[in-house]
Amino acid sequence: MVEKMRIQRILQQKKTDISLTIEGWIRTRRDTGSFSFLEVNDGSCLANLQVIAEKELENYDQEITKLSAGCSVVITGDLKKSPAKGQDVELHADSVKVVGWADPETYPLQKKRHSLEFLRSISHLRPRTNALGAVTRVRSRLSFAVNNFFQKRDFVQVHTPIITTSDCEGAGEMFQVSATGEKNEKPFFGSRAGLTVSGQLQAEVYAQALGRVYTFGPTFRAENSNTSRHLAEFWMIEPEVAFCDLACNMELATDLLKFVLSDVLENCSEDLALFDKFIEKGLLAKLQGVVEQDFVHITYTEAIEKLTGVTEKFEYPVKWGIDLQSEHERYLTEKMYKCPVIVTDYPASIKPFYMRFSDDGQTVAAMDILVPGIGEIVGGSQREERLHILEQRMIEAGIDRDEYDWYLDLRRYGTVPHAGFGLGFERLVQFATGMSNIREVIPFPRTPGYAPC
Ligand code: 4AD
Ligand code: MG
């Protein structure tokens, strides 16, 4: 049997005069007098393989000349050096088997470029386009690079629960989970349960046993914000490290961002070049810059001072104590510093109960990383490891201490300074691909009023 090969491998190997089989979908067909050119894509890479199908093939008139975009085919032939410009090899077909037809009258993906908005309306077909296929490959590589980063540094991956009874961020944005028809019965889980907004609290449990852990999974937020950077279901990477303070946390987050971006620059160059050309001009230079530059570090108080000193009119007025809005974050990273900015030491009043309270009596050891085009990409902190202060903070936040007794136990028995952060995976994919809307970087986006498939 002739070897089956993926197009990416064929193009990488640069071998010629071998027989092989490819499986894929037709992108275009062009007929000349004596043969047809077929452009075939199999999803392994952006490039198509050009196939030459001669008139002599037995199904030439009946089938090959009727092929159109979207038809699935299995083609066996000889790989030859190509005389044409822009490609090294071409496949001279011995057989072209049509597996599935795609009626050109109704198939929505025609040769012209479609808008990303239109493609969103056909989320079951959009991965067949160049742009969305490329996003999917870059997303997969970023996921691999994230795991690689942590595994290389001896972190242990922990699968934290999706159904939980604790609202980590305390923002009341949890989707509730119940069994159907539960209304009048005892709750399925004994008490009110919901979809996790963050795996952090459970990651803390494991960090205080295994030292360095990370969780990477889906998280859910019922926040009613229809923006280009929010999803109701998104993925988050959350490391948690024992014997680690805010400085060590910032270093870990910086190293992670630089590692994964330099990985995709190296391993997804063809896909990134497409984005650089059509989606965000200058993307490659931006990513290279982030890998090489030092990130700016400023405190929240310094950020507020800087922002009050600029002439820019903000929708939300700037004063100490406000939560930084996207417009403020983007001003800092895009206009003022033009590089990633780490903002630390936020007012305790705007941050969750678990962040470590500082000696100034006003701020907590929090850090957010802001990047151009996105704003906040990472949110993290050193955690409060002192039992009595944590209890006090929970009282102030109106949190039921009985429900979180297990969390307090971590401070009762062998407590240690520890820290961690959450990196929004879709915001990372947005940053790496230049996609301005977060709905383009997750296969099936879920937003208020929208969850097809
Ligand atoms: O800043 P957040 O809310 O932090 C936490 O959840 C912490 N418990 C993380 C931790 O310390 N382990 O969320 C972290 C990141 C944000 O910086 C952002 O990148 C992303 O998650 N994020 C969202 N991404 C898409 N859609 C949403 N609705 C998001 N909300 C947060
Ligand atoms: Mg945040």
Intra-chain end-to-end CA distance of the chain, in Å: 38
Atom number, ligand 1, closest to the C-alpha of residue 230 = 26
Q: Answer left, alpha or beta for residue 202, where phi above 0 means left and psi between -120 and 50 means alpha.
A: alpha
CA-nearest residue for atom 9, ligand 1, is: 422
Q: What integer is the mean pLDDT of 274-279?
A: 98
Q: Which of 225, 427, 429, 440 to mutate to test the pocket of ligand 1 (most atoms within 8 A of CB)?
A: 427
Say yes or no to pLDDT of 181 above 70.
no
Q: What is the mean pLDDT of the chain?
A: 96
Domain with CATH 2.40.50.140 in the chain: 3-100
Class of domain 3-100: mainly beta
The fold of 126-441 is: BirA Bifunctional Protein; domain 2 (3.30.930)
Q: Outline which parts of the chain fall under CATH 3.30.930.10.
A: 126-441
Residue range 91-121, pLDDT digits in tens: 999 999 999 999 999 999 987 889 999 999 9
Confidence of residue 225 (pLDDT cuts 50, 70, 90): confident
Kindly report the pTM of this predicted structure.
0.97
pLDDT tens-digit map of 296-313:
999 999 999 999 999 999
* Residue 432 Cα to ligand 2 middle (Å): 20
In angstroms, what is the span from residue 421 Cα to ligand 2's centroid? Answer: 9
In angstroms, the Cα distances linking 54 to 3, 86, 138 are 22, 22, 36
Which of 166, 196, 198, 381 to probe ligand 1 with, by most ligand atoms within 8 A of CB? 198
**d(CA 367, ligand 2 centre) in Å:** 9
Ligand 1 binding pocket, CB closer than 6 Å: 168-169, 198, 200, 221, 223, 230-231, 234, 236, 238, 376-381, 420-422, 424, 426-427
Sheet of 233-242, strands arranged across: 156-157, 212-220, 233-242, 418-424, 375-382, 363-371, 341-347, 296-299
* Res 89: pLDDT: 96
Q: Mind listing the pLDDT tens digit for each residue in 316-368?
A: 999 999 999 999 999 999 999 999 999 999 999 999 999 999 999 999 999 99
